[in-house]
Structure 1
């Protein structure tokens, strides 16, 4: 897994939680209901399809 700053991590998880709350398909099997908790679990499993571009 790539090393992210805490700001990048927060942005990735927040963006993915928003996608999940708007009805995006889940990328991990989980029993959790809250979009933020699901996004954190997806981040920990390194399956979130979001990339970070740095200059």
Structure 2
């Protein structure tokens, strides 16, 4: 599988959307390691590449 490179705008949108999901009670996919804030957990999931969000881009 090819590692997808996200733009800074895509990363911001993905992390924000996932943090909102976590805040609303979605299951956390990484060990929390004492992190209590949803934003920190979402960033950890993105770094671990296990975030359950996909990006659809227009073909140019």
What band does the TM-score fall into relative to the shorter chain? Answer: over 0.9
* Paired residue secondary structure (1:7): helix
Give the match's secondary structure for 1:18: helix
Note the 1:39-54 alignment, pairs <5 A: 39-54=42-57
Q: Which has the larger radius of gyration?
A: 2
For structure 2, which runs of at least 5 residues remain unmatched after alignment?
none
Long gaps (5+) in structure 1:
none
TM-score in terms of structure 1 length: 0.96
Could you tell me which residue of structure 1 aligns to residue 37 of structure 2?
34
What CA RMSD, in Å, does the superposition of the two structures yield over aligned residues? Answer: 0.6
Q: How many residues align?
A: 55
* Aligned mates of 2:57, 2:40 — CA distance in 1: 27
Moved over 6 A (4+): none
